[in-house]
Structure 1
Amino acid sequence: MHIKSFVAPLVGAAATLAMLPAFAQTKVTNQGVTASEIVIGTHQDLSGPIKVWGVPVLNGMKLAVEEVNAKGGINGRKIRLIAEDSGYDPKKAVLASQKMVEKDKVFAMIGPMGSPTVLAAQDILFEAGVPQLFPLTAAEFTYKFDPSKAQERLKFNNLLPYVESTRAALKYMVDWKKPKSACIMYQDDEYGKNVYDGFTQQLEAMKMKPVSVTTYKRGASDFAAQAAKMKSDGCDLVVLGTVIRETIGLMAEAKKIGFNPIWLGATPVNVLEIPALGKELVEGLYSAAGFEIPYRDTAKGPVKEWAEAYFKMFNSEPNTQAVIGYNAIMTFAFYVQLAGKDLTGQKFLEALESGKEFKDIFNSPITKFSKTNHLATTITQVQEVKNGRWVLVKDGLSF
């Protein structure tokens, strides 16, 4: 073949390839950014079944926004937070997301609440080029992405994932307590399924089989049948893919019938409300956790200052949920700062994927993302309720 006739197709192919990134490259919005502000959005359950999560999460976010803005904002821009109530209803989450994207023109969605609600609404964000950052669910769909689908690159999570944290905590408990009959009760939704997957994967890795598997519908309040089944099945360790009311309800039913296994909650169980409401019923309960809960009367240094500021602003004690909401905004602010004064969606995405590490004031594991990994960490703790407070049992756990 003559050299010119060989080069010509190559040049044509190169021109075609040069056009491909326009289709493959992630579309990221620049909306919501002006010379003086950055508009961000969130949807929380402020009136529904998990408002005990949604309200303090939003409070933590508000405290962080006030703190950032009091210091002059980020590269001269103040944060404006738009919050909508989803009531933990996927349909309301969809409507709220449409409103914030189309009307409020948010630059990013920060810390939206709940597995079913986030899953229902996230495609609205991706289609508009709006990043979904640090949602209040550790389900795999919030950080696992298909590299061939450019818009999925807009999902990032800094929460401890349910599968990995359940595996790490379960491995530790089995090695330590040597149970013979591991069982699980989990919520019949995306969150519960992730806890179940972590439970079954770890048992398989340890050459064990689940002795009893039982579920409940989200919003259920009667757990007598589940407690009776697990007692009958001889369970001596029960993993809880539950939230607050269900955890206490099941343990109350178990106590009535003299059923007293080792209880191990997934990460949503590790909240102040469990010992505050469950009292002596939940003494000895273990849970997977991401960080130590700060108690206002024992906290020190920056955490003490944060706890006092939270109490002063909201007249309520700071908790796990408040820490998560606060950190969601502070993590966002860190990467916006890194993106520079000439802020664009593309520069912000590059900052997130830069590998630069964010360290919070609560001694949580370091947050770090890359082009191929949009999950911040999988390092897990186990904590136990002792004398009405969550106490660290073991940290630095993996599986």
Structure 2
Amino acid sequence: MSKSYRALGLAVSALALTHLPAYAQTKVTNEGISASEIVIGTHQDLSGPIKGWGVPVSNGMKMAVEETNAAGGVHGRKIKLVLEDSGYDPKRAVLASQKMVERDKVFAMVGPMGSPTVLASQDILFDAGVLQLFPLTAAEFTYKFDPAKPQERLKFNNLLPYVESTRAAVKYMIENKSFKKPCIMHQDDEYGKNVLDGFTQQVTAMKMTPASVTSYKRGASDFSAQVAKMKADGCDMVVLGTVLRETIGAMGEAKKLGWDVTFLGATPTNVLEVPALGKEAVEGLYAASGFEIPYEDTAKGKVKDWLVNYKKMFGTDANTQAIIGYNAVMTFAHYANKAGKDLTGQKMLDALESGDKFQDIFSSPPTVFSKTNHLATTITQVQQVKNGRWVLVKEGLMF
């Protein structure tokens, strides 16, 4: 071999190495995989302020594990789910994550609950090479990763993010209903700020100025000042960066004032509990949404069977939260199957980043990730409460 060829070979090798680090050095655990099972973990709020989310999410996850195992598991391995209660407390989420990594030797953390709890505990997972998959928060930190920090590559999210979904829904409403004075009322925390960002970005992009921007403290129950201000400011559409109680409270206040204005909720308002508890106060509410909410008397095929089975297992009707929990485990099982019989952490990571699509039974947009994008989808729907039920108004929306 001539000197120049050898030098060229060395130069090419060196060049290849300089382009590798971000991907090459991600450490992924092989813990939790045995000949007979795959151990996955999750922390949920089963006793605290958002147990109305945590309990049905956990139920949906248990149902998916049972279904997958009954069908032969993942290449013959049964899924074992370790479930811990965080009480929506970051300190408890940290302790639960440490236990699951050190004692239970989990292979992946699937569907953990809540922005503050997930944020507090995720570095424990990354340091141990444990994948953090499909957490129950649409905050940006759950899917945006710095390629210079290879362990951040272990995070993936399949929920609709608040900023993008709010933008898509606001764009649709303004274009189709010719609103001139858009306004927003939002919770003054990380979630509310994300909704505010989406609203502000879209209104600015459409060369409009918000007629009113107002906020409230998390846990507040009186919205009379905010609603009176928005009415005085002449709002014709109000975006709600609210959850359950605040959505009902704000719309009830508007009805009390005899103020006929259009309300558009961010994705957390798009749950069965809002029309069930809000009754006529929330009639006409629009909301950004990721997938259609099924009802047992109108559902068909697999979705109908799923609703019936859920009720049989847990003695209560399934809701959006149960679907999200179920899908988290089903999505995990899909990519673990794709990773092959000799499952390893690296093969699981490769399967997730392969661009392979997962399609759920609920007609959601398909889940697909790549090496550079760990967010599954930003495709948004708009739904509306009509006669106490969520009805699809428009699907396939982008901004």
Counterparts of 1:238-317 in structure 2 under 5 Å? 238-317=238-317
Contact 1:47 1:87 in 2 (8 A): yes
Q: CA 1:20 to 1:139, structure 2 compared with 1: closer, same or farther past 3 Å?
A: closer
Q: Which amino acid aligns with 1:169?
A: A
Distance across 2 between alignment mates of 1:325 and 1:230: 36
What SS is found at the alignment partner of 1:32? coil
Q: Which amino acid aligns with 1:274?
A: V
Distance across 2 between alignment mates of 1:8 and 1:393: 61
Contact 2:22 2:147 in 1 (8 A): no
Please list the CA deviations of residues 35-75 of structure 1 after superposition, one character each: whole Å capped at 9, or x if unmatched: 11111111112122221111111111111011001112111
Moved more, 113-122 or 268-277: 113-122
Contact 2:37 2:78 in 1 (8 A): yes
Moved more, 174-183 or 329-338: 174-183
Structure 2 gaps, min length 5: none
Aligned to 1:212: 212
Aligned to 1:71: 71
Contact 1:49 1:219 in 2 (8 A): no
Distance across 2 between alignment mates of 1:47 and 1:117: 14
What SS is found at the alignment partner of 1:214? strand
Aligned to 1:346: 346
Q: Which amino acid aligns with 1:66?
A: E
Contact 1:116 1:189 in 2 (8 A): no
Task: Give the count of matched residue pairs.
Answer: 398
Q: CA 1:19 to 1:193, structure 2 compared with 1: closer, same or farther past 3 Å?
A: closer
Aligned to 1:60: 60
What SS is found at the alignment partner of 1:204? helix
What SS is found at the alignment partner of 1:331? helix
Counterparts of 1:134-173 in structure 2 under 5 Å? 134-173=134-173
Q: When the two structures are superposed, what TM-score results if normalisation uses the length of structure 1?
A: 0.95
Aligned to 1:43: 43
Aligned to 2:380: 380
Distance across 2 between alignment mates of 1:219 and 1:131: 33
Distance across 2 between alignment mates of 1:168 and 1:65: 34
Aligned to 1:324: 324
Q: Which amino acid aligns with 1:237?
A: M
Q: Percent identity among equivalent residues?
A: 76
Distance across 2 between alignment mates of 1:91 and 1:228: 39
Aligned to 1:336: 336
Deviation at 1:8, TM superposition (A): 10
Q: Which amino acid aligns with 2:216?
A: Y
What SS is found at the alignment partner of 2:288? strand
Distance across 2 between alignment mates of 1:169 and 1:189: 21
* 1:234 to 2:234 alignment: yes
Distance across 1 between alignment mates of 2:140 and 2:12: 41
Deviation at 1:12, TM superposition (A): 12
Contact 2:110 2:328 in 1 (8 A): yes
Contact 2:22 2:149 in 1 (8 A): no
Q: When the two structures are superposed, what TM-score results if normalisation uses the length of structure 2?
A: 0.95
Deviation at 1:24, TM superposition (A): 5.1
Deviation at 1:22, TM superposition (A): 9.7
Contact 1:286 1:383 in 2 (8 A): yes
What SS is found at the alignment partner of 1:42? strand
Contact 1:65 1:79 in 2 (8 A): yes
How large is the RMSD of aligned CA atoms in angstroms? 2.2
Counterparts of 1:92-103 in structure 2 under 5 Å? 92-103=92-103
Aligned to 1:91: 91
Deviation at 1:214, TM superposition (A): 1.6
Structure 1 ranges of 4+ moved more than 3 A: 6-24
Please list the CA deviations of residues 313-357 of structure 1 after superposition, one character each: whole Å capped at 9, or x if unmatched: 011111111111111100000000000111110000000001111
Aligned to 2:118: 118
Aligned to 2:107: 107
Deviation at 1:150, TM superposition (A): 0.4
Please list the CA deviations of residues 195-231 of structure 1 after superposition, one character each: whole Å capped at 9, or x if unmatched: 1111011001100111211222222222222222222
What SS is found at the alignment partner of 1:74? coil
Distance across 2 between alignment mates of 1:337 and 1:3: 48
Contact 1:287 1:382 in 2 (8 A): yes
